[in-house]
Structure 1
Amino acid sequence: MKLLVTGATGKLGSKVMEFLLKTVPADQLAVSVRDPEKAESLRSQGVDVRQGDFDHPETLDTAFTGIDRLLIISADGDNDTRIRQHSNAVKAAEHAGVKFIAYTSIANATNSENLMAPPHVATEAAIKETGIPYSFLRNNWYLENEAGSIEAVLAGAPWVTSAGSGKTGWALQQDYAEAAAAVLAGEGHENTVYELSGPLHTLEELVSALGDVLGKDVHIEQVTDEKYAEIMKGLGLPDFVLPIVVGIQESIRNGSLAVESSDFEKVLGHPVTPLNEGLKQIVTAINQAK
């Protein structure tokens, strides 16, 4: 049985590999990466490192050859780019005769008003069309996505948001990575959809928890989308990014991430990392990076 992880040198992929290496013999593991040189540490542990680029389908056809179980970690970029790249990966998996595909999707993908849902809807549909057994890992929201706001708070600024009272199922990347590794290496996950959502919280509650971690009151400033875009532009974000960051706030506000589910705990076999502990880890990492 040969397992392969795409994007294995990325933030999520590298964590998935850490968990897999604890439970699966290295000679049964392979990775598909754009730049194999960045995966030397994996190669040195006995992992089969293959070159694969989502923009060059022929490299994926080669990378996926002989693979039984595949984890496609969703790519970065605009929606159209991601749809094209994911389509290339799914077609290559079909060409290679892969027997199982796990895919990192987004919360409530097919019923979502989330700005970033379209690539995931298209990819889930493409995987289903192949007839290959699948598991869709509908990841809610990485707590690490809030690192910029946490850093601003540490510097004395308020937490600025236009998300209102919308709820989000935050969890650490390591929890999502552990779940992905468990599904890829485990049994009984064929044709499943897992809504991987941590306990739901509003941003007000998240900021209150951060205040507990820091031992001080943290001010949260609720603004309009227009004001939020203006503030983000003032912080140096390029114009093309502004609709994305505002769209994320809107997605939280409209409830598209408010998915209540026990799937995370079911897949992990234990609860996700508590919110306060996750925030503590991120604060520590930010302080250590200074």
Structure 2
Amino acid sequence: MKIAITGATGQLGQLVIHSLLKNTAAENIVALVRNESKAADLKTKGIELRYFDYDAPETLASALSGIDKLLLISANEVGRRTPQHKAVIDAAKQAGVPYIAYTSLLNADISPLGLAQEHRETERLIKDSGLKYTFLRNNWYSENYLGSVAHTVEIGTLYGAAGLGKISSASRQDYAEAAAKVLTSEGHDNKTYELAGSTSFTLADLAKDIAEVSGKAVVYQNLTAEDYSQALLQAGVPASLVDVIVDADIQTEKGAMYSESKDLENIIGHKTTAIKDQVKAILT
């Protein structure tokens, strides 16, 4: 059984491979990478590397030769994902890959998030391909809220525009573990899983957690979308990323990040990582 992972040197891809190694031998894993020098550590583990560039579609089918299961981790270039994903799906079909798992977005079919459209388009392309599939509809990564925790402690304020919206995020490790379980077990063909955290929090709750862990006063300040956009731009966040972050908060207030689904904890066999535990890992 040969399992191939796209984006294998990315943050999620590396964690998926680490989880796969707990369930299958290294010789069964193929890391699809654009830059092999970044994958030297994977090679030392006995994992086969194959060159794989979404923007060189004519090379993709040969890289998928002999693959039994393919994990398509959604590309990171927002706005270019659909054609890139189409190239991979077409190549998988050409190479005779029978099954593809895809990291989609929570409630992709109805999600109001701006990011959802490319996920909807990709899901449709996979269904139309005739391949067996599993849609791993990942909710937001908790790490998305934790990149500047130390700075938040320093200034005593967590900024956002999510109001009292509840967030059912999970750690990147939780999602990676779920992907690995699905790829190494049976019964997932043509299934769609809504993957979300076991518990939910508001950004005010997160500010409280940060305060408790750090021992410093930290409060949540809710901004208008316009003010939050300006604050992020002034902090040097790229404009394209600002749009994604602010849209996520606006839709969070409307319920887009909240889910009662237990698909994720059922697949991994335990509760997902509490965001407060991740804050502790960063600050202590």
Q: TM-score range by the shorter chain?
A: over 0.9
Residues in 2 aligned to 1:154 and 1:240: alpha-carbon distance in whole angstroms: 26
Q: Distance in 1 between matches of 2:190 and 2:91?
A: 19
Q: 1:230 offset after TM fit, Å? A: 1.3
110-119 or 155-164, which deviates more: 155-164
For 1:274, the equivalent position in structure 2 comes to 274
User: Which whole-Å CA distance do the structure 1 matches of 2:122 and 2:282 have between them?
Assistant: 31
1:51 aligns with 2:51: yes
Q: Per-residue displacement from partner, 1:136-194 (whole Å, max 9, x unpaired)?
A: 11111111111234232132241111111111112111111111111111111111111
Contact 1:171 1:273 in 2 (8 A): yes
RMSD: 1.4
Structure 1 77/262 Cα, relative in aligned 2: closer, same or farther at 3 Å? same
Give 1:121's aligned residue. Answer: 120
5 Å-filtered alignment, 1:58-77, equals 58-77=58-77
**CA distance change for structure 1 residues 59 and 283 in 2, over 3 Å: closer, same or farther?**
farther
From the superposition, tell whether residues 250 and 97 of structure 1 become closer, same or farther in structure 2 (CA, over 3 Å).
Answer: same
Q: Counterpart in 2 of 1:85?
A: 84
Distance 1:268 1:242 in 2: 32
CA positional deviation for 1:78: 2.1
Q: Does residue 160 in structure 1 map to residue 191 in structure 2?
A: no
Deviation at residue 221 of structure 1 after TM alignment: 0.6
Q: How many angstroms does 1:22 deviate by?
A: 1.8
Contact 1:76 1:82 in 2 (8 A): yes
- Aligned twin of 1:287: none
Counting matched residue pairs gives 283
5+ long unaligned stretches in structure 2: none
2: CA distance, partners of 1:48 / 1:232? 40
Percent of pairs with identical residues: 42
CA distance in 2, matches of 1:256, 1:274: 19
Q: TM-score, normalised by structure 1?
A: 0.93
* Partner residue, 1:212: 212
1:39–1:205: structure 2 CA closer, same or farther, 3 Å change rule?
Answer: same
Structure 1 stretches lacking a partner, 5+ long: 285-290
Q: 3-state DSSP class of the match of 2:251?
A: helix
Q: Tell me which amino acid in the other structure corresponds to 1:100.
A: Y
| 1:182 counterpart SS class | helix
With over 3 angstroms needed to count, the CA separation of the structure-2 counterparts of 1:241 and 1:28, relative to structure 1, is closer
**In the TM superposition, what is the alpha-carbon distance from 1:238 to its structure 2 partner?**
3.4
